[in-house]
Structures are given as C-alpha cells and as structure tokens.
Amino acid sequence: MNVIQNWGKYFIFLSGTVRNREPFRVYPPLIIDEMVKIGTNSFLIVAIVSSFIGAVTCIQTADNLVSPLVPLSVIGTICRDMTLLELAPTFTCVVLAGKVGSNLAGEIGSMRITEQIDAIDVMGINSSSYLILPKIIAACIMIPALCILASFLSLLGGYLVGVFGDVITPTDFVSGLRNGFRAFNVFFALIKSFVFAFLISTIASYKGFYTTGGALEIGQASTKAVTNSVIGILIADLLLAQILI
C-alpha cells in the first residue's frame, strides 16, 4: 500500500510542477542557473569517468580478442557500440544520480526544513513549479549534453590508450568506429539520457520536497534520492532496450 501511495504522491507532485505555473518570465533565469549548476559543475567528473571507462574498455576488449581471424578494427567497433549503447548514457547517469541527485535532494530538503518552501507557498507562489520545474528542464537539457560529451571522451580515451599503448593502430581504431555505424544508436543514447535525466531530477526533487524532520532526515533523503534514482535508471534502461532495440 505504501508503495502505491508513494507512486500516487510522486505523480501528484509531478503534476503540481506544471499546474498553476508562475509567469513565463520567471523561468529562463532559473533554468540557466540550474543548467550551470548541473552542467558546468558535473563536467569534470563526467570527463574523468568517461575517458577512463573508454580506455579500460579498449584494453579489455583487445585482451579478449585472441583469435587472429578477428580483425583488430573490431576493438574500435566494440568500443563504439558499448559506449553509445550503454556506457555513456547509463554509466554517466549513474554517476550523475550520485552527484546531481544528492545535491538536488539536499538543497530542496534543507529548504523544506528551514521553512523556505513554506515561505514561498505563503506568498502565493507555486513552490513545486518555481523550484522544481527549472531543475527538471535544466537536467533534461544538460544531462543529454553531458552524455554526448561522455561518448566523445570515452571514444577518445579508448583511442589514445589503444594507440599509445600499442594495442591498435589509429587506422584500425577509426575504421572500427566507422564499420556498420548505425545513426539510430546515437538517437537511442540520447533518448536514454533524456529519460534518465528526467528520473534523476524528479526522484531527487520528490525526495527533497517531502523531507520532514531535521539534518539527519536531509541526509537520508539524499541517500534515498540516489538509490531510488539508480534503481529507476536501471529499470528504465532495461525497458528502453526492450522497447527500442
């Protein structure tokens, strides 16, 4: 029953962000502010994680390709498909669930505890729309952008380690990247990252928005935001793979 109640509360919360919105002029500066917080502040961690993941993928794929009948360019192909289909969108979003999700839940949770959200409500402002909607829109713009960046850096990491580690020649790697390329995979990665961004921002905001208690509960809300977002991402990942591939 509790699970059903939570789902219902989550959807009511979501509808509250778009019903009785504030005037349009209010949102652009808030969205830009959130885009900077989500995007710029996550750039470094995404860059580090994705380039190392790409590098490791290249080395491990090469290590497993022992048959002389398999051309080395397959390393590039495997790196490309793994990056586009799974590593860049899913792994990046799992990392961002930790960073952005906990940040959002903590920020909104502390606003709730210190009555800042009540202050907004008393002024006649729709607090969920004013506080949450810009975060959702910003996340849905910036997280796919970060996933595109992650894809590029992951492949670059694989290329650099492969070439400078004498694992593969530049020609073989690039040829592997081009072999059998399906543009749909890029589209698929973008759809995934968009869905994951929506899940991270809404689940984290929801957890923060309904925080009650004090500092301890803010920490618990952040933790729940991360774990629930990661579970949501994994379930959505499976469903999208089933539906779209």
Partner 1 sequence: MIEIVNIKKSFGDKQILGGVSAKFQDSNNSLIIGASGTGKSVLLKCIVGLIRPDEGDVFFDGRSLYNSPSKVVKAIRREMGMLFQGGALFDSLTVAENVRFPLDMMVAEMLDSEKTDRVMHSLERVGLEQAAHKRPAEISGGMRKRVGIARAIVMNPRYLFCDEPNSGLDPMTSIKIDELISEITDEYKMTTVVVTHDMNSVMGIGEYVMFLYNGLKEWEGDSKSILHAESQALRDFVFASKIMEGLL
List of residues contacting partner 1 (CB under 8 A): 20, 22-23, 25-26, 114-116, 118-119, 121-125, 130
- Which is closer to partner 1, CB of 33 or CB of 63? 33
Q: At 53, which amino acid appears? A: I
Shortest Cβ 33–partner 1 spacing (Å) = 9
Shortest Cβ 123–partner 1 spacing (Å) = 5
CB 21 within 8 A of CB 130: no
Q: Is the torsion defined by CA of 107, 109, 113, 119 positive or negative?
A: positive
135: CB partners within 8 A, 6+ apart: 34, 38, 104, 201, 205
Shortest Cβ 119–partner 1 spacing (Å) = 4
- Which is closer to partner 1, CB of 107 or CB of 172? 107
Shortest Cβ 138–partner 1 spacing (Å) = 16
Q: Give the Cβ contact number of residue 59 at 10 Å.
A: 16
CB 120 within 8 A of CB 187: no
- Which is closer to partner 1, CB of 116 or CB of 227? 116
Q: Is the torsion defined by CA of 116, 121, 122, 125 positive or negative?
A: positive
- Which is closer to partner 1, CB of 130 or CB of 159? 130
